[in-house]
């Protein structure tokens, strides 16, 4: 114990130094906020925050790991940003869903996050200026595009402000440590399907029950010792559950891409993605006419998705993600050419692009 005392004193001194530095950082942030208000600049600049994390990772000598470093500074940045003014975020709820986790990973914990029961409700909150941002799923690596999100973009005035990729890590949760007590496993149908091999091998004969969300399953497990839930680690934290088995999903690289929607336009950064909807005539070669201008200008298309318009039988539009900003000359030139024969073009947003798993 005598050896611990000086080390604890050293920890206390370091904590006081960090406290002083954190307050100095916040004071500088408030100076920046005043300039932004005078110039009407966007308060939230995700590309700048990503630059902060990248710089810290590059300069990190260890032993603190990369993921832990980003998590810590995301909360520092989020708390600092909150000093500039409240940020409100609507997301497809309930709490503890993967969309909720995506919202927290993108904005940090110092935001007012509000769950809503449908993707349409999230869009409406943003459109009516009741929140600053919305977070909705757009595609899953195994289940494909979220069609309802695409449908809403057709008539909505919101635009894509950013994106975040999240690995879908499924865990078996319960209110105790004894897996032999489990008589029923509950979760969203997609989560149960993603874990069918684990359930077949390790929990044969256990009843499976579909519920409306992984969060509701976690709530049921909290209240009944004979129920286990398949849900996220965030659900375990929020509902005070024990993780009986980690990473029980059949495909370990399953990921979902979420969009950040807003009526604000994100500031330009270094790496952008432009998303758009294209309506074409119902004739032979229509798809070729769309793709040729991109190909000739060597513009990489990271996604092409055909989708029924739901306005007219057998009428389709294409959802396209293109690398680059809509104001870049090659992309601008391609769109000018496509406008000559497209039925309609709607730019959904030009926003900072990310790839891979967000920390």
Lookup: tokens for 267: 């500031």
**CB contact burial 249-286 (16+ within 10 A = b; e otherwise):** beeeebbbbbbbbbbbebeebeebbbbbbbbbeeeeeb
Distance from C-alpha of 301 to C-alpha of 320, rounded to nearest angstrom: 7
Distance from C-alpha of 265 to C-alpha of 260, rounded to nearest angstrom: 11
Distance from C-alpha of 325 to C-alpha of 278, rounded to nearest angstrom: 17
- How many Cα atoms are found within 13 Å in the side-chain-facing hemisphere of 48? 11
**Rg, the chain, Cα only:** 23
Distance from C-alpha of 177 to C-alpha of 183, rounded to nearest angstrom: 14
Distance from C-alpha of 158 to C-alpha of 14, rounded to nearest angstrom: 45
CB 337 within 8 A of CB 313: no
Which residues are marked as active site?
256, 258
Compute how many other C-beta atoms are within 10 angstroms of the C-beta atom of residue 356. Answer: 8
Phi and psi at residue 267, in whole multiples of 5°?
-65, 155
Compute how many other C-beta atoms are within 10 angstroms of the C-beta atom of residue 311. Answer: 10
Task: Write down the residue that tokens 């810290």 correspond to.
Answer: 56
């Amino acid at each position: 114990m005598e050896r611990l005392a000086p080390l604890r004193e050293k920890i206390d001194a370091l904590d006081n130094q960090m406290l002083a530095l954190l307050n100095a950082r916040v004071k500088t942030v408030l100076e920046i906020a005043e300039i932004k208000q005078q110039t009407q600049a966007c308060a939230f600049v995700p590309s700048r925050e990503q630059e902060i994390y990248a710089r810290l990772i590059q300069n990190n000598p260890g032993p603190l790991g990369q993921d832990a470093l980003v998590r810590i500074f995301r909360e520092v940045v989020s708390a600092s940003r909150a000093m500039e003014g409240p940020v409100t975020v609507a997301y497809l709820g309930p709490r503890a869903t993967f969309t909720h986790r995506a919202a927290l990973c993108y904005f940090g914990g110092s935001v007012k996050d509000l769950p809503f029961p449908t993707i349409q409700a999230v869009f409406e909150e943003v459109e009516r200026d009741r929140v600053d941002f919305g977070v909705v799923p757009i595609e899953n690596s195994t289940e494909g595009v979220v069609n309802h999100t695409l449908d809403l973009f057709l008539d909505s005035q919101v635009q894509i402000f950013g994106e975040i990729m999240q690995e879908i890590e499924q865990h078996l949760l319960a209110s105790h440590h004894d897996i032999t007590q489990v008589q029923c496993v509950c979760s969203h149908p997609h989560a149960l399907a993603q874990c069918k091999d684990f359930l077949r091998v390790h929990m044969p004969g256990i009843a499976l029950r579909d519920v409306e969300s992984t969060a509701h399953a976690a709530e049921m497990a909290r209240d009944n010792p004979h129920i286990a839930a398949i849900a996220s680690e965030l659900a375990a934290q929020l509902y005070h559950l024990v993780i009986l088995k980690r990473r029980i999903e059949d495909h370990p690289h399953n990921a979902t891409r979420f969009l950040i929607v807003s009526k604000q336009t994100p500031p330009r950064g270094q790496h952008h993605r432009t998303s758009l909807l294209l309506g074409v005539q119902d004739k032979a070669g229509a798809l070729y006419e769309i793709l040729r201008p991109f190909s000739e200008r060597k513009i990489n298309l990271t996604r092409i998705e055909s989708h029924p318009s739901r306005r007219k039988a057998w009428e389709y539009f294409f959802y396209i993600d293109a690398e680059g900003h809509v104001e870049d000359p090659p992309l601008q030139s391609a769109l000018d050419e496509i406008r000559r024969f497209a039925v309609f073009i709607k730019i959904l947003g030009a926003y900072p692009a990310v790839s891979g798993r967000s920390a």
